[in-house]
């Protein structure tokens, strides 16, 4: 049981951060705090994928020597490059989503004048009638 | 008032995530399935086929170049969307 | 930020640092093939240099350095360079984005032609990422009202 907990400790750390972000998105009523919770959630997922690429006794993902002169590369000596590549795309998507969400928040503030969820729903029902 | 259902949902999610971790490989295992399937080919053949010693750049720009092109389109679209949402034309 | 701040120490120091930041971003981009770096990272550092000018001075000074027309042209130019390299490979008689066939135009062998093809597309990625980061930043900070603020201050 203890070995089961210790051998996968990267996973427990990121589960805790995911749950913190998830709680922030659900339980807070200010829209800005929900956005911060979403940001924490996204970055925890990206960190978890980066932790998959580790290997015991392996080195950085660059073949040394002038223009890769030490060209006999065994796959066991180098850290897995694929999760890093896929997470570059994920980071760019996170930046794009955050930018668009912030601009939608500016539009909500222009129209209703507040960031609290309860007041916005009340004003929406009043304006609808 | 929203905190009690949130806590219940958190506990259920935590239980499900921990239960699913039984099948995961150990951390830093050199023989896990993620390191055996296609990445040995990228590591061994990157200098011979593309003359670039940095594996991350050669996978990003050469072996998976199509994905990078659409990702550039995604960031471009995000910039255009922010412009469309926020600017209000004053003079028609 | 949008109005002038006028502190001599901050303005002089930021004006001194900006060329070094831009040179560092070009270094990160150019050494993407043999050390960590590449297009995305270089583009973000270059955008950081421009944001530093905006923080130290005000909106008019920042817009004088990088006009809005040039910003929009740079956004589209990067994607065009990337797709253009793919089209060039298609016109030379191979698959889309197959850089080995660029050796018919460049004076190298097919393996080195892939090296140069990668450098060209990373240039496109850097230009687009820099222009979009600056554009999103300016839009969010001025709440979309670039022209009103510039008219108020008497551009």
Cβ A98 vs Cβ A71: under 8 Å: no
Question: Which residues lie closer than 8 Å to A45 by C-beta, 6 or more apart?
Answer: A14, A18, A90
- Cα separation of the two ends of chain C: 16
Q: Which subunits have 3 or more CB–CB pairs within 8 Å of chain C?
A: A, B
- Give the total residue count for chain A: 129
**Per-residue pLDDT in tens (0 to 9) along chain A, 129 residues:** 677 777 788 888 889 999 999 999 999 999 999 999 999 999 999 999 998 888 888 888 888 776 666 667 787 888 889 999 999 999 999 999 999 999 999 999 988 999 999 999 999 898 876
User: Mutate which of A71, A95, A96, A110 to test chain C, going by most C C-beta atoms within 10 A?
Assistant: A95
Q: Give the gap in angstroms from C-alpha C67 to the nearest C-alpha of chain B.
A: 16
Q: Are A9 and B27 a contacting pair at CB < 8 A? A: yes
Contacts of C40 in chain A (CB under 8 A): 88, 92
A126 burial (CB, 10 Å; 0-12 / 13-18 / 19+) is: exposed
**What is the b/e burial string over C58-83, where b = at least 16 CB atoms within 10 angstroms of the residue's CB?**
bbeebbeebeeeebeebbebbbebbb
Q: C118 in contact with B at a CB cutoff of 8 Å? A: yes
- Cross-strand pairs, A30: A116
ipTM of the complex: 0.88
Interface of C with A (CB under 8 A): 34-36, 40, 136, 139-140, 143-144
- Give the residue on C whose Cα is nearest the Cα of B86: C144
Pairwise CA distance, residues C120 & B38, whole Å: 26
Name the token pair of A83: 């999760």
Which pLDDT score, from 0 to 100, does residue C27 have? 95
Q: Which among B9, B44, B79 is the nearest to A75, CB-wise?
A: B44
User: Mutate which of A99, A102, A109 to test chain C, going by most C C-beta atoms within 10 A?
Assistant: A99
- Give the residue on B whose Cα is nearest the Cα of C133: B79
Q: B47 in contact with A at a CB cutoff of 8 Å? A: yes
Question: Which residues lie closer than 8 Å to A108 by C-beta, 6 or more apart?
Answer: A31, A115, A120
Pairwise CA distance, residues A94 & A99, whole Å: 9
Question: Which residues lie closer than 8 Å to A101 by C-beta, 6 or more apart?
Answer: A35, A38
Which pLDDT score, from 0 to 100, does residue A71 have? 61
Q: Give the gap in angstroms from C-alpha B66 to the nearest C-alpha of chain A.
A: 12
Read off the pLDDT of residues C2-24 as tens digits, 9 standing for 90 and up: 666 678 898 899 989 999 999 99
Q: Give the gap in angstroms from C-alpha B91 to the nearest C-alpha of chain C.
A: 11
Q: Which among A88, A92, A103 is the nearest to C140, CB-wise?
A: A103
Stated pTM of the model: 0.89
Q: Span B58-84, mean pLDDT? A: 93
Read off the pLDDT of residues C103-136 as tens digits, 9 standing for 90 and up: 888 888 888 888 899 999 999 999 999 999 999 9
Which pLDDT score, from 0 to 100, does residue C153 have? 63
Cα separations (Å) of C7 from B14, B77, C42?
A: 52, 37, 30
DSSP for C9-47 reads: HHHHHHHHHHHHHHHHHHHHHHTTTTSS--HHHHHHHHH
Cβ A56 vs Cβ C23: under 8 Å: no
Q: What secondary structure letter does DSSP report for C105?
A: T
Q: What secondary structure letter does DSSP report for B89?
A: -
> Quick check: C57 pLDDT over 70?
yes
The separation between CA C71 and the C-alpha centre of its own chain, rounded to angstroms, equals 9
Tokens 């603020």 -> residue: C149
Q: Which among C34, C36, C40 is the nearest to A92, CB-wise?
A: C40
Q: Which subunits have 3 or more CB–CB pairs within 8 Å of chain B?
A: A, C
> Quick check: B37 pLDDT over 80?
yes
% residues pLDDT > 70 (chain C): 91
Q: Within a 13 Å sphere around the CA of C107, how many CA atoms are in the beta-carbon half?
A: 0
Tokens 């050669």 -> residue: B58
Q: Which of A65-74, B56-65, C90-99 has the lowest mean pLDDT?
A: A65-74
Q: Are C144 and A88 a contacting pair at CB < 8 A? A: no
Q: What's the maximum distance between 2 C-alpha atoms anywhere in chain A? A: 74
Contacts of A51 in chain B (CB under 8 A): 27
Banded model confidence at residue C1, pLDDT cuts 50, 70, 90: low
Q: Are B82 and C78 a contacting pair at CB < 8 A? A: no
Q: Are B66 and C36 a contacting pair at CB < 8 A? A: no
Q: What is the mean pLDDT of chain B?
A: 87
- Cα separation of the two ends of chain B: 48
Cβ A94 vs Cβ A49: under 8 Å: no
- Give the residue on C whose Cα is nearest the Cα of A68: C34
B56 burial (CB, 10 Å; 0-12 / 13-18 / 19+) is: buried
Q: Are A99 and C140 a contacting pair at CB < 8 A? A: yes
Q: Which residue has the higher pLDDT, B37 or B92?
A: B37
């Amino acid at each position: 049981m203890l070995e089961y907990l210790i051998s996968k400790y990267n996973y427990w750390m990121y589960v805790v951060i995911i749950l913190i972000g998830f709680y922030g998105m659900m339980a807070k009523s200010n829209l800005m705090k929900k956005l911060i919770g979403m940001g924490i959630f996204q970055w925890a997922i990206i960190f978890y994928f980066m932790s998959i690429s580790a290997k015991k006794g392996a080195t950085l993902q660059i073949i040394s020597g002038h223009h890769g002169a030490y060209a006999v590369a065994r796959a066991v000596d180098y850290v897995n490059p694929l999760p890093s590549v896929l997470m570059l795309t994920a980071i760019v998507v996170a930046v794009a989503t955050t930018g668009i969400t912030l601009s939608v928040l500016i539009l909500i503030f222009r129209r209703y004048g507040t960031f609290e969820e309860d007041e916005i729903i009340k004003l929406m029902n009043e304006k609808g009638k | 008032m929203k905190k009690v259902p949130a806590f219940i949902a958190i506990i259920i999610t935590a239980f499900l995530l921990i239960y699913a971790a039984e099948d995961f490989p150990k951390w830093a295992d050199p023989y896990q399935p993620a390191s055996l399937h296609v990445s040995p080919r990228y590591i061994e053949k990157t200098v011979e086929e593309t003359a670039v010693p940095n594996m991350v750049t050669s996978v990003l720009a050469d072996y998976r170049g199509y994905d990078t092109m659409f990702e550039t389109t995604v960031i471009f679209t995000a910039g255009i969307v922010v412009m469309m949402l926020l600017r209000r034309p004053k003079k028609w | 930020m949008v109005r002038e701040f006028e502190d001599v120490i901050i303005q002089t120091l930021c004006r001194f640092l900006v060329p070094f930041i831009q040179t560092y971003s070009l270094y990160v981009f150019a050494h993407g093939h043999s050390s960590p770096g590449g297009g995305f990272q270089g583009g973000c550092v270059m955008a950081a240099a421009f944001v530093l000018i905006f923080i130290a001075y005000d909106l008019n000074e920042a817009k004088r350095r990088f006009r809005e027309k040039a910003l929009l042209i740079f956004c589209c130019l990067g994607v065009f360079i990337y797709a253009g390299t793919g089209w060039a490979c298609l016109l030379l008689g191979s698959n889309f984005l197959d850089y080995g066939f660029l050796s018919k135009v460049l004076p190298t062998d097919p393996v080195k032609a892939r090296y140069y093809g990668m450098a060209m597309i990373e240039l496109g990625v850097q230009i687009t990422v820099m222009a979009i980061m600056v554009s999103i930043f300016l839009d969010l900070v001025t709440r979309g009202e670039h022209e009103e603020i510039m008219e108020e201050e008497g551009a």
